[in-house]
Amino acid sequence: MKIAIIGCGAAGATAAQFARKQNRKAEITIYDNEGYGEYSKCALPLVISGELGWEDIIEYPPQWFERAGIEYRHENVSKVNLDSMEVEARDVVEYDKIIIATGAKAAIPFEASGAYVLRNMEDAIKIRKVAMNSKKAIVIGAGLIGLEVAEALKRLGLDVVVLEYMDFVLPNMLDPDMASQLLKKLDGIDIKTGCMVKKVEGRYVETKEESYEGDIVIIATGNRASVELCKGCEVKKGIVVDEYLKARENVYAAGDCTQIKDFFGNEMLVGLGTIAARQGRVAGVNAAGGNEKMLPPLAPKTALLFGIEVASVGLTQSQATHYARHFANLLPEYMKGEKIVIKLMADEEGTIVGGQAIGKNASLYIDRIAYAIYNKMHVKELSWFENAYAPKVAPVFDAINVVSQALLLKMRRGNGRNI
């Protein structure tokens, strides 16, 4: 059996590893147009700031694949013929199975030239080089990537202005009320929301209201799936795959190039390394003869921004029926513990469907909410959830317990009946 994998990101590299584990005899080839092997794209802002060198974030270099019996080809694939199962790079090779893991490209919704984007290692290296000789930066987009890049540039000593089209930061992660709590904590950075960019030309940015000038401009306005090599597959915004990651017979796709259904049945583009790696595992196993299924994702997200931990999972307030937000102490009042704010969402029946958190250990609380969503727990069950207690470690009722009780009380009052 001959398997070709196009792309060496989280999806492609993971697919190669699990295809090899599934089938020790298969001939596996991975095509990588960058030449670094697999590295952590989530760590690219740390390369910009200098907290890590580019070599530090390489998890599986080209030599690793060769040692694992996987042919590593530093080549750009120009064409894939899914009828003849041929991959065209420096030469044309026929395969039995093909896994497409071509990732995504930066999406720029306005006219732009001379600006930078952050999608790969070369982008990070270029941005750092220019930033080292700059004093002021403009970042367009206040999503996760935009804010992480802004923090990286701030660490280099630059004055940073962030321009966001929406009226609040992290619009794909937080509701406006939670975003406002985060914004209060983001010191030392100028964030302008409700700002429509019309044009970028070199160091100049023109918005609907005014113009800005910086020594470097970075655009972080989202991504679009790279689907150019997928002629013959069903493509909407991304390559449509089933729960086995199959795009068509003998062809699989994984990672940011794909479009899937989430836990709630909504269509989504991937865009998260955690999902991409899990897709890669399923695609790799199945291409090599296995029969794995992909769980519908909840897409939990987390980040550490300017020392503040933020996390979310599931539906937002606009998609949920009931919600409650609460400030809680991570330790008992007399221990003067740090504050955390948690927002919890439930549907009309009281089943947990989403959560957001800002503060220390936010991701751990979100992981527990994700577990509750997967198990379709009712808010009443979560309100009675027993947690460990010790004055130096945790309060008698922890933050999840408190916000669950608040949501339950709110629902009882709203429905006029016991729940």
Domain boundary residue, one of 192, 219, 246 = 219
Name the β-bridge partners of 92: 88
Sign of CA dihedral 388, 362, 321, 260: negative
| Residue 97 confidence (pLDDT) | 98
pLDDT 10s digits, 55-75: 999 999 999 999 999 999 999
Domain boundary residue, one of 254, 287, 320 = 287
Same domain, yes or no, for 374 and 316? yes
Same domain, yes or no, for 307 and 380? yes
Domain boundary residue, one of 168, 190, 219 = 219
Does the residue 47 lie in any domain? Answer: no
Same domain, yes or no, for 119 and 212? yes
CATH number of domain containing 400: 3.50.50.60
For residue 399, give both structure tokens. 């933050």
| Residue 415 confidence (pLDDT) | 62
Sign of CA dihedral 383, 389, 392, 395: positive
Q: 200 to each of 111, 206, 211, 354, 382, how far by Cα in Å?
A: 6, 6, 10, 37, 49
Same domain, yes or no, for 372 and 388? yes
Same domain, yes or no, for 242 and 307? no
Name the β-bridge partners of 390: 394
Same domain, yes or no, for 382 and 404? yes
Same domain, yes or no, for 402 and 311? yes
Q: How many CB atoms are located within 10 Å of the residue 290 CB? A: 17
What pTM was estimated for this model as a whole?
Answer: 0.92
**Residues of the chain below pLDDT 50:** 416-418
Indicate the angle between helix axes 10-22 and 273-287, nearest 10 degrees.
30
Q: Which helix (H) or strand (E) holds 30?
A: strand 27-31
Which domain covers residue 356, as residue numbers?
Answer: 301-410
Same domain, yes or no, for 112 and 215? yes
Beta strands (DSSP E) in 262-407 are 267-269, 301-305, 308-314, 322-329, 339-346, 352-358
For residue 106, give both structure tokens. 């930066």
Residue found by looking up tokens 């250990």 in the block: 361
Same domain, yes or no, for 155 and 90? no
Beta strands (DSSP E) in 104-236 are 104-106, 111-113, 136-140, 159-163, 190-192, 197-201, 204-207, 211-213, 216-219, 223-225
Tally of domains within the chain = 3
For residue 34, give both structure tokens. 């960058």
Dist CA 127 CA 123 (whole Å):
6
